[in-house]
Amino acid sequence: MKILDVLQKEAILVDLKAKDKKGVLEELVTPVAHIAGINHKDLVRVLMDREQLGSTGIGKGIGIPHGKIKGLESLILGFGLSRKGIDFESIDGRLTHIFFLLVTPENSTGLHLKLLAKISKILKNDSFREGLLNAIDSDEIYAIIKEEDKENF
């Protein structure tokens, strides 16, 4: 599976407006909940509950909020870009700009972990992160991810 197998263009937000963690999650969830046919508030609650266990702000300006939803048919991914950056309680204390939102069915732990690992791995590439940060629109972000996401897992 590739990232673009589960990331639809409609779920790519290139100019997040939120100024805090909950606001970013609510923004990221909007297209994902619509695409997946799941309740927006329930998904935000699942993600906020996960954040209570420890921030999914992994440093270097990256956040990978994730959670599992009962009754979800398949894995779904969202992407968001905060131009100004927000305090996502990142492990390095820096503002977070790049967000990958991962939502998986309750019973898909293996796939969930594989996709988290793949996203984390490609985000270690400095030029990939820079490309995302400088992207103008969702088409450009989609193309950047497609180029980086050639390898299956």
Residue 85 lies in a domain: yes
pLDDT bracket for residue 73 (50, 70, 90): confident
Query: Which of these is catalytic: 34, 66, 97, 112?
Result: 66
CA pair distance 153, 143, nearest whole angstrom: 19
pLDDT of 2 > 90? The answer is: no
Q: Catalytic site residue 66?
A: yes
Split into its structural domains, the chain has a count of 1
In this structure, is residue 99 part of a structural domain? yes
In a domain, 113, yes or no: yes
DSSP per-residue codes, 92-112: T---EEEEEEEEEETT-HHHH
Query: Is residue 53 a part of any domain in this protein?
Result: yes
**C-alpha 24, offset from chain centre:** 10
pLDDT of residue 153: 42
Distance CA 83, CA 20 (A): 13
Domain encompassing residue 30: 15-148
End-to-end, the C-alpha distance of the chain in Å comes to 6
In a domain, 2, yes or no: no
Work out the mean pLDDT of the chain and round it to a whole number. Answer: 92
60 within some domain: yes
Q: Is residue 91 part of a domain?
A: yes
Helix ranges restricted to H, the chain: 21-36, 40-53, 109-122, 126-134, 138-148
Query: Residue 131 domain-assigned?
Result: yes
Residue 109 has pLDDT above 80, yes or no: no
Q: Provide the CATH number for the domain around residue 87.
A: 3.40.930.10
pTM of the model: 0.94
